[in-house]
Amino acid sequence: MAGAQQSELHTELGDFLRSRRQKLTPKQMGIAAGRRRRTPGLRREEVAELAGIGVDWYIRLEQGRSVSPSVTTIDALARALRLSKAEHAHLRALTRDGDRRPFAPEVVPPAIWRTVESLNQPAYVTGRRWDVLVWNAAAEDIFGFGKLPEADRNVLICVLANPATRRLFGAGWADEARRMVAQFRATHDLWAGDPAFRELLARLRAGCPEFEGWWGAHDVRSVSAGYKLIKHPRRGQLRLEYASFQANDDPALKLVIYTEAPAKPVVAR
């Protein structure tokens, strides 16, 4: 991994740890409040003590300095900071060094392309940067990817910065957009510093006033199935259920399929 990108990765690690520390309170952790605190959350020495690691060493992590924690230490920090399963996985990924080439748009194999086009349900394929690479006629009818310039065919750009797509979600837009930002955070931080990801963030900041606050919260969520309510200009309100799948040909490719959802979610037995 290039030095500049590695430095960005360490910075994201420090920011992530700081954001989780500041969300906890002494009361939550059974710590006496003591003297008045100038900033919200736990102190760094309190996190270090809870994790059983040295204060100076933890400070180095938050400062984004080059440190390689062991798996045991990572797990101890996850417990101390009460990280969710998705946050714990994200912490592990941020501390994993490796060789990474500059980002390049993915190529969708012809077999996957034909499969998507053959589906009657709305479906599309995205890459690591959430660019929409392939979609079918049913997805075009709802999202209109083909009417957009190629540079705008990105799920985040569509939902956060495209007024037409934003109107599709109506009153539920903010919840949907914030959820997507938290899901994308897990991918972005592994590519922090890459020019393609920098460019995407710049466009989101310019096109969505709410984005900066959501991004600064540093929330992380895993990608999962769910429901979307869409106000289609011709078909009226649509309640859609969606699920995503990784491609064996290239795990960076994600196939998203929408189906008409029942009025009430079906509980599996």
CATH code, domain with 22: 1.10.260.40
| Signed CA dihedral, 16, 155, 125, 191: sign only | negative
**259: which 2 tokens?**
């189906």
Query: Under a CB-based contact definition with an 8 Å cutoff, are residues 166 and 139 in contact?
Result: no
| Signed CA dihedral, 171, 224, 251, 201: sign only | positive
- What are the tens digits of pLDDT across the range 143-169? 999 999 999 999 999 999 999 989 999
245 and 143 in a common domain = yes
For residue 217, tell me if it sits in a domain. yes
86 and 116 in a common domain = no
Query: Under a CB-based contact definition with an 8 Å cutoff, are residues 114 and 135 in contact?
Result: no
For residue 70, tell me if it sits in a domain. yes
137 and 85 in a common domain = no
63 and 173 in a common domain = no
246 and 134 in a common domain = yes
75 and 198 in a common domain = no
Q: What is the pLDDT of residue 152?
A: 96
Query: Under a CB-based contact definition with an 8 Å cutoff, are residues 77 and 71 in contact?
Result: no
The helix-helix angle for 71-80 and 85-94 (nearest 10°) equals: 140
87 and 25 in a common domain = yes
Phi/psi for 52 (5° steps) reads 75, 35
Percentage above 90 pLDDT, the chain = 64
Query: Under a CB-based contact definition with an 8 Å cutoff, are residues 207 and 163 in contact?
Result: no
Which letter does DSSP use for residue 146 in this model? G
For residue 74, tell me if it sits in a domain. yes
For residue 103, tell me if it sits in a domain. no
For residue 70, what pLDDT band results from cuts at 50, 70 and 90? confident
| Signed CA dihedral, 19, 20, 24, 26: sign only | negative
Q: Give Cα 102 distance to the centre of its chain.
A: 19
For residue 170, tell me if it sits in a domain. yes
For residue 104, tell me if it sits in a domain. no
Across 255-260, average pLDDT:
96
Domain total for the chain? 2
- What are the tens digits of pLDDT across the range 116-148? 999 999 999 999 999 999 999 999 999 999 999
* Domain range for 233: 110-260
Which letter does DSSP use for residue 165 in this model? H
- Tell me the C-alpha to C-alpha distance, in Å, between residue 45 and each of 33, 48, 50, 51, 250: 14, 5, 9, 10, 43
pTM, 2 dp: 0.81
239 and 116 in a common domain = yes
Q: Which of 38, 62, 94 is the last residue of a domain?
A: 94
194 and 163 in a common domain = yes
For residue 100, tell me if it sits in a domain. no
For residue 204, tell me if it sits in a domain. yes
> What's the per-residue H, E or C state across 212-231?
HHHHHCCCCCCCCCEEEEEE
The two most distant CA atoms of the chain are separated, in Å, by 65
Across 98-109, average pLDDT:
82
Residue bearing the bigger pLDDT, 229 or 125: 125
Please, is 241 exposed, middle or buried when counting C-beta atoms within 10 Å of its C-beta (0-12, 13-18, 19+)?
Answer: middle
What is the domain-level CATH number for residue 202? 3.30.450.180
Across 178-186, average pLDDT:
94
140 and 82 in a common domain = no
Q: Residue 242's beta-bridge partner residues?
A: 226, 258
